[in-house]
Amino acid sequence: MNMVADAQREFKSRLYAQFASVGKALGSPHRLEVLELLAQRERSVDSLASELGVSIANVSQHLQALRRASLVETRKAGQFVHYRLADPAVSDLCRALRTVSERRLAELDRLVRDQFGHRDAAEPVSMDELLKRARSNDVVILDTRPSSEYEAGHIAGAISLPVADLRRRLKELPKSKEYVAYCRGPYCVYADQAVKFLRAKGRKAHRLLEGVPEWRAAGLPIESGGAAPAASRGAVMRHP
């Protein structure tokens, strides 16, 4: 009997050690941000280092830790190595971590309210609400992320309009339309910046509460590749 119990205890210890290895890999703010960036598209070490504002050596160490935990995979193209999420479940894991943190951490709630307290005035839109509004040709969905992320995958029917290009391309956005902007996720600021600018210029604009990873996880339509100019398109999404 004791041998059976000992064998069961050894199994449980080894089992939870495996689970803990994933938790250990997530125990770094930079690694969590790396995973969020990789949820948008695959990236090189140089690209990640530039986005995070840290050294290439630092990012490489974080990527190796994530790779040892089987959370990321690589693809070599010439002299460059590109990293991607190893499985869509990795994005689900990060989202679950975020959800628990949002529900349980009072300091996180204060931090988010201090940063995004202005959002209520802009009437943020949920994914379900966007699906309803997208049936009207009067609604234009704006992807405010960098164009490379848009090309890797975007909400069906959205147009690419990086926030840095808004001022130059404002004439493409007639005042007769309604605009819903989105970016990487709930805490990405690109869409907020776009909504603030568009409202100041007399456009009716809102922010989608979620981003592309949440949209994809919900099984909603995703497209990849380039897009036509904003002025020539309305919301062309079709979904039951």
Q: What is the 3-state secondary structure (H, E, C) of the chain?
A: CHHHHHHHHHHHHHHHHHHHHHHHHCCCHHHHHHHHHHCCCCEEHHHHHHHHCCCHHHHHHHHHHHHHCCCEEEEEECCEEEEEECCHHHHHHHHHHHHHHHHHCHHHHHHHHHHHHHHHHHCCECHHHHHHHCCCCCEEEEECCCHHHHHHCEECCCEECCHHHHHHHHHHCCCCCEEEEECCCCCCCHHHHHHHHHHHCCCEEEEECCCHHHHHHCCCCEECCCCCCHHHCCCCCCCC
183: burial class by Cβ within 10 Å (0-12, 13-18, 19+)? buried
Active site residues: 183
Residue 143 scores a pLDDT above 50: yes
pLDDT tens, position by position, 149-205: 999 999 999 999 999 999 999 999 999 999 999 999 999 999 999 999 999 999 999
pLDDT at 240: 38
- pTM given for the model: 0.88
Distance from C-alpha of 64 to C-alpha of 72, rounded to nearest angstrom:
9
Residue among 208, 189, 184 at smallest CA distance from 126? 208
pLDDT tens, position by position, 216-225: 999 999 999 8
Kindly list the structural domains of the chain, giving each domain's residue range(s) and its CATH number in brackets, ordered by start. Answer: 2-90 (1.10.10.10), 118-232 (3.40.250.10)
More confident residue, 71 or 116: 71
* Cβ neighbours of residue 170 closer than 8 Å, sequence gap 6 or more: 201
**Residue 33 one-letter amino acid:** E
pLDDT at 122: 67
Question: Residue 48 has which token pair?
Answer: 């990640």
Task: Name the band, by pLDDT with cuts 50, 70 and 90, for residue 4.
Answer: confident
8 A C-beta contact, residue 161 and residue 194: yes
